[in-house]
Amino acid sequence: MTIPRVLIVAGSDSGGGAGIQADIKTVTMLGGHAMTALTAVTAQNTLGVSDVFSVPTTMVLAQIEAVADDIGVDAVKIGMIGSAETADALAMRFETMRDVPIVFDPVMVATSGAALADNTTIAAFGRLMDVAALATPNAPELAALTGRNVTNADEAEAAARLLAARHRCAILAKGGHFAGDMLTDILVSPDGTTSRWEGGRIETRHTHGTGCTLASAIATGLGTGLFITEAIARARAYVRAAIVAGPGLGAGHGPMGHALGKSWFD
């Protein structure tokens, strides 16, 4: 193998800042080959989401089978799912791919605040964490998945420990929603060991797609053969560089500079 083959299971962002568009850019910039299974089509821009159409579950699975049977898969990134039926079907499909690292970004709400998963779909997220190597929830997602208050790094770590023990899946608790000039991301492994990364907050409104980008960058690293801590460290560096290189597009939460970010990353 000369290039990591990364299967992206996610929704489309018509504004190009998040979703499968951000995933493809990220995997490509980090040296991988991006393949896709589209779960939903959204009509959105930097100001918000105006409409969502879920792709039928059978079609999501057909896309996965088409690329897996021919090209092969070295890592999987799961983002927006579209429906509880699709979430359950994905969990069953990926149970047969235990040798492939799966990174699950439990997308519930867009950066603009629009809901991207209903309660039934969120309830099905547990099955996906059961088959994932890593899940990357932010603070609101940690709270929704555990029923706990998550307002600071200590509470995030406690919630992450609960999920890691429950699902035997590593949890990267993202700290971007907490107040303060420093951001802390905390990795909790299934055995309870932890790692932390800190970085200064970058003051900008152009952060649309940070979660998608981070998860795809980690998946690409894992598909390359990096250890999970190495993949996370590289992914965080890429995300921060892409934020700094944001092109300043749109009147709301603008996209990052995925391509320009590579020059900063080097």
pLDDT above 80: residue 232: yes
CB atoms within 10 A of CB 72: 13
Catalytic residue chosen out of the listed positions 82, 175, 212, 262? 212
Q: Could you tell me which of 124, 150, 181, 220 has the C-alpha nearest to residue 228?
A: 220
pLDDT above 70: residue 110: no
Catalytic residue chosen out of the listed positions 25, 77, 174, 262? 174
More confident residue, 115 or 49: 49
Q: Is 212 annotated in the active site?
A: yes
CATH of the domain at 56: 3.40.1190.20
| Mean pLDDT in residue range 216-230 | 98
pLDDT above 80: residue 206: yes
Amino acid 112: pLDDT? 58
Q: Is 86 annotated in the active site?
A: no
Domain that holds residue 73: 5-265
Name the least confident of 35-49, 124-138, 159-173, 250-264: 250-264
Look up the pTM and report it: 0.94
Residue 115 sits at the vertex; the CA angle it makes with 250 and 209, to the nearest 5 degrees, is: 40
Amino acid 263: pLDDT? 53
Amino acid 117: pLDDT? 64
Q: Is 32 annotated in the active site?
A: no
Domain count, the chain: 1
Q: Is 174 annotated in the active site?
A: yes
**What's the Rg (C-alpha) of the chain?**
17
